[in-house]
Amino acid sequence: MRELSDIEAWRQFAHGERVAGRSVGLVPTMGALHQGHVSLFRAAKAASDVVIATIFVNPRQFADENDLARYPRTLEHDRELAAECGVDCLVTPTLDEMWPDYPDCTPTTVSVRGIGDVFEGADRPGHFDGVASVVAKLFAVTGPSHAFFGEKDFQQLAVVRQLVRDLGFDVEVVGCPIVRDEDGLALSSRNVRLSSEARRRALGLSRALSYVASTSARASTLRATMRTILDDAGIDVAYAEVVDPRTLRPSGDDESGPRRALVAGFVDGVRLLDNGPVTVVREN
């Protein structure tokens, strides 16, 4: 596995692979790799000739400095896991390479309005500006490629897809299924911060989604049901919503068909996200 930190070397590596007739798969990460990332590497390996993985803890998507400081950093483990998964090039750019003006504000910001202003965007102002800006830079440096993102961060996936549609990047965005632990908890780098008791309560997220996935009801009924399950589990609910999977517009009771349920909440101060498919039926 080749390791790079210099942006120009990264750009030239990707370009050289394409010139040689090989397709490039890109897997952007913030490190603290787990089996969810492994699934992305495997998907990229199956669909691309060459896999580039990036590890960069992007400060611009953290509004809380303490949250940024607590984000797990396990670079040695990440290197080993990426190599085991067949990643061809691991890119670990420095903060100076990515955001030369940091900690001052970077003059250029990519903002995906509407879809990036709700849910996580409403609760964490500026978060998706940071996400969209760093993803745009990853795409600009890597060039034409397939980019693999997990569906666990469903709103992030929707923001990235909108970004590609609007700015015309020569990138095909591939959403990959959520990977769960044996108990049903969606894999996340934040899970390591949960005590055993907190983890037990956190299972309310997947339990709520599993319940509404097994039934068809009005959107308002599904919302109320999820919130009740989350409350009963002792989760401090941030939101429990049913939305159009592309626009993230909340569904009304006059609508029917497949939708996406989004849930988020705090367990002992740790913010956790989950989502899943649901079916809404029209109110009679």
DSSP states of 69-107 as a string?
HHS---HHHHHHHHHHTT-SEEE---HHHH-TTTTSPPS
| Contacts (Cβ under 8 Å, ≥6 apart) of 39 | 150, 176, 177, 179
Q: What is the pLDDT of residue 211?
A: 97
Contact of 7 with 96, CB cutoff 8 Å:
no
Structure tokens at 125: 């102002």
pLDDT at 284: 66
Neighbours of 64 (CB within 10 A): 10
pLDDT recorded at residue 209: 98
Which two tokens mark 50?
């060459």
**Which runs of E-coded beta strand occur in the chain?**
2-4, 24-29, 50-55, 89-91, 145-150, 171-176, 216-217, 236-243, 257-267, 270-280
Q: Which two tokens stand for residue 132?
A: 């969209």
| Residue 257, SS3 per DSSP | strand
Domain 189-276 has CATH 3.30.1300.10: yes
Place of tokens 């060039």: 143
Distance (Å, whole) CA 165 – CA 162: 5
Report residue 38 as tokens.
């492994």
- At which residue do the structure tokens 């998964």 appear? 85
Q: What is the CATH number of domain 2-176?
A: 3.40.50.620
CB-based contacts of 21, cutoff 8 Å, min separation 6: none
- Of 37, 77, 127, 146, the catalytic one is 37
For residue 184, what pLDDT is reported? 96
Please report where in the chains the tokens 């780098």 appear, as a residue. 189
Q: What does the pLDDT profile of the chain (284 residues) look like in tens digits?
A: 999 999 999 999 999 999 999 999 999 999 999 999 999 999 999 999 999 999 999 999 998 899 999 999 999 999 999 999 999 999 999 999 999 999 999 999 999 999 999 999 999 999 999 999 999 999 999 999 999 999 999 999 999 999 999 999 999 999 999 999 999 999 999 999 999 999 999 999 999 999 999 999 999 999 999 999 999 999 999 999 999 999 999 999 999 999 999 999 999 999 999 999 999 999 76
CA distances from 208 to 26, 30, 211 (A): 33, 28, 5
Angle at 82 between CA 77 and CA 88, to 5 degrees: 145
Q: Quick one: pLDDT at residue 283?
A: 73
Indicate if the alpha-carbon torsion angle 236, 263, 138, 162 is positive or negative: negative
Residue 181 to residue 168: CA distance in whole angstroms:
36
Q: What is the pLDDT of residue 126?
A: 94
Residue 37 known to be catalytic:
yes
Domain ranges of the chain: 2-176, 189-276
Comparing C-alpha atoms, which of 152, 155, 239 is closest to residue 187?
Answer: 152
